[in-house]
Structure 1
Amino acid sequence: MEIDNINNKEVVNDEISDKPNIPDGGWGWVVVFATFVLCMIADGITFSFGLLYIEFLNEFEASKSATSWIGALFMAVPLMTGPLMSALVDKFGCRPMTIVGGLIAALGFVLSSQCYSLSYMYVTFGVIAGFGLGLIYVTVVVSVAFWFEKKRTLAVGIGSSGIGIGTFVFSPFSTYLIEELGWRGTTLILAGVFLNMCICGALMRDPDWIIEQNKKEAKLSKNPIEIASKENGNQVVVSTRIKESRQPLMARQDSCPGTRRPSIRKAPIKHLHHASMLSLSKLDDKKKWYASIKELGKDMFDFSLFSELHFFLLSLSTVLLFTWFIVPYFYLADLMTLSGYTTEQAAFTISNIGISNTIGMIVLGWAGDKPWMNITITYGIFLVLCGLSIMGQMWFIGNYIMLQISASLFGISLSSHFAFTPGIVMELVPLDRFTIAYGLQLMCQGIGTLVGPPFAGLLFDLTQNWEQSFYQSGLWMILSGIFVGCIPYIKNKKMFGKGLVEKPIEGQENKIIPLVLLSILMIVSLVAVFYLPFNSYF
Structure 2
Amino acid sequence: MSNNVKFFKESLGNSMEELDINNQKSNNIIEDEFNVPEIQDGGWGWVVLAAALFIRIVMVGVYASFALFTKDFTAEYDMSPSIMSWMISMYSSISLLVAPIGSFLGEKYNYRRVSIISLTVAGFVYPSTYFYPALWYTFLTASIIVPFLHGLANICVNIILSFYFDKYLPIALGVFASGNGFASFIITPLMAVIINNFGWKLSKPIYSLLYVLAVLAALTFRKVKAKKTDNKMKAGYEVSKADDLSYVFISRNSRIIRFLSLPNVATIFHKNKENKRVFISLENIFSNKKERKNRDFDSKDMTGSQLVVINSLSKMQIGKIVDNNESSRDNVTKTKRYCELLSKPVFILFLVSNLFSCLGYDTSYVYAKDRALELGVSESQATSILTCLGIGNIIGRVAFGFIGAKKGINRFITYIISSITAGLFILMSKVAFSYPFMVTYAIGFGIFIGGIITLGQVLLLHLLKISDFSHALSIMCIVQAVGLLAGAPISGFIFDATKSFEWPFVYCGIIIILSGLVLTFAYLSKEFRKSGKCN
* TM-score normalized with structure 1 length: 0.68
* Distance apart, 1:92 and its partner CA: 3.4
By how many angstroms is 1:337 displaced? Answer: 1.3
CA distance in 1 between partners of 2:109 and 2:359 (Å)? 31
CA distance in structure 1 between the aligned counterparts of 2:394 and 2:417, rounded to whole angstroms: 19
Q: Is the 8 Å Cα contact of residues 57 and 179 (structure 2) preserved in structure 1?
A: yes
SS of the equivalent of 2:204 reads helix
**Is 1:387 paired with 2:432?**
no
Match in the other structure for 1:283: none
Which amino acid letter does the alignment assign opposite residue 406 of structure 1? Y
SS at match of 2:246: helix
Q: Are 2:259 and 1:267 aligned?
A: yes
Tell me whether 440-449 or 380-389 shows the greater mean CA deviation. Answer: 440-449
Instruction: Compute the displacement of 1:407 (Å).
Output: 0.7
Answer yes or no: is the 8 Å Cα contact 1:460–1:469 preserved in 2.
Answer: yes
Which deviations, in whole Å up to 9, do the C-alpha atoms of 1:286-344 show, x marking residues without a partner?
A: xxxxxxxxxxxxxxxx8887553577665544433322111011111111212212211
Relative distance call for 1:266 and 1:458 in structure 2 (3 A) is: farther
Contact map agreement 1:376 1:485 (CA 8 A) in 2? no
Distance 1:306 1:383 in 2: 27
8 A contact 2:413–2:534 mirrored in 1: no
Q: Give the CA deviation at 1:346.
A: 0.7
Matches within 5 A, 1:94-109: 94-109=111-126
Name the CA distance, whole Å, in 1 between partners of 2:401 and 2:368: 27
Query: Following the alignment from structure 1 to structure 2, what is the Cα–Cα distance between the partners of residues 57 and 378?
Result: 40
Question: Which residue number in structure 1 is paired with residue 434 of structure 2?
Answer: 399
1:133 alignment partner AA? H
- Where does 1:491-506 land on structure 2 (aligned, <5 Å)? none
Match of 2:395 in 1: 359
| 1:6 to 2:24 alignment | yes
Equivalent-residue separation in structure 2 for 1:165 and 1:62 (angstroms): 31
Q: 1:43 to 1:175 in 2, by over 3 A?
A: same
Give the direction of change, closer, same or farther, for the CA distance of 1:131–1:93 in structure 2 (3 Å limit). same
Q: From the superposition, tell whether residues 422 and 43 of structure 1 become closer, same or farther in structure 2 (CA, over 3 Å).
A: farther
For residues 397-455 of structure 1, give each alpha carbon's deviation from its aligned partner in whole angstroms, at most 9, with x where no partner exists: x1322221111111111222454456556766869986x98776555443222211111
How far off its partner does 1:159 sit?
Answer: 1.8
User: Quick one: distance in 2 between partners of 1:91 and 1:102?
Assistant: 18
Residues 198, 144 of structure 1: alpha-carbon distance in 2 compared, 3 angstrom cutoff: same
CA distance change for structure 1 residues 136 and 486 in 2, over 3 Å: closer, same or farther?
farther
Q: Deviations over 1:21-52 (max 9, x none)?
A: 97655554444323322222222331221111
Residues 94 and 204 of structure 1 are in contact (CA less than 8 Å); yes or no, is this contact kept in structure 2? no
The whole-number CA distance in structure 2 between the counterparts of 1:208 and 1:197 is: 24
2:412–2:534 Cα contact (<8 Å) kept: no
Distance verdict in 2 for CA 1:109–1:431, change over 3 Å: farther
- Structure 1 segment 72-83 matched on structure 2, within 5 A: 72-83=89-100
Q: Is the 8 A contact 1:83 1:440 kept in 2?
A: no
The 1:508/1:433 distance shift into structure 2, 3 A limit, reads closer
Is 1:249 aligned to residue 246 of structure 2? Answer: yes
RMSD, aligned α-carbons: 4.2
| 1:49 paired to 2:66 | yes
Match status 1:451 vs 2:486: yes
Rounded to whole Å, the distance in 2 between the matches of 1:352 and 1:56 is 24
Q: Which residue is equivalent to 2:292?
A: none
- 1:173: which partner in 2? 190
Contact 2:491 2:507 in 1 (8 A): no
Cross-structure match for 1:277? none
3-state SS of paired residue (1:116): coil
| CA deviation vs aligned residue, 1:454-510 (integer Å, no higher than 9, x gap) | 111011111222233212212222233456788899899xxxxxxxxxxxxxx7626
2:499 alignment partner AA: Q
Cα shift at 1:123: 0.5
Equivalence for 2:503: 468
| Residues 93-127 of structure 1 deviation map (CA, whole Å, 9 limit, x = unaligned) | 43222212212322221222223322221101211
Cα 1:347–1:79, aligned 2, differ >3 Å: closer, same or farther? same
3-state DSSP class of the match of 1:455? helix
Change (3 A) 1:438 1:260: farther
CA contact (8 A) 1:154 1:366 kept: no
Residues 481, 89 of structure 1: CA spacing in aligned structure 2 closer, same or farther, 3 A cutoff? farther
2:444 is the counterpart of 1:409: yes
Residues 181/5 of structure 1: CA separation in 2 closer, same or farther (3 Å cut):
same
Matches for 1:264-413 after TM superposition, within 5 Å = 267-268=259-260, 307=339, 308=341, 309=344, 315-373=351-409, 377-396=413-432, 398-413=433-448
CA distance in 2 between counterparts of 1:312 and 1:137 reads: 29
Q: CA deviation at 1:389?
A: 1.3
Match status 1:132 vs 2:149: yes
List alignment gaps of at least 5 residues for structure 1: 214-243, 273-301, 493-506, 515-538
Amino acid across the alignment from 1:137? N
The residue that corresponds to 1:191 in the other structure is 208
Identity %: 25
Residue-by-residue CA offset, 1:239-296 (whole Å, 9 max, x unaligned): xxxxx9897226xxxx6x8213126698236999xxxxxxxxxxxxxxxxxxxxxxxx
Distance in 2, Cα, partners of 1:140 & 1:418: 20
Q: Give the aligned residue type for 1:415.
A: G
Q: Is the 8 A contact 2:410 2:534 kept in 1?
A: no
What is the distance in 2 between the residues matched to 1:148 and 1:121? 39
1 CA distance for matches of 2:451 and 2:193?
Answer: 30
How many pairs are equivalent? Answer: 433
Superposition TM-score, scaled by structure 2 size: 0.68
**Contact map agreement 1:154 1:368 (CA 8 A) in 2:** no
8 Å contact from structure 1 (residues 376, 488) kept in 2: no
Q: CA deviation at 1:196?
A: 2.7
Correspondence list, 1:66-77, <5 A: 66-77=83-94
Match of 2:172 among 155, 176, 200: 155
- Report if aligned partners of 1:385, 1:413 keep a CA contact under 8 Å in 2: yes
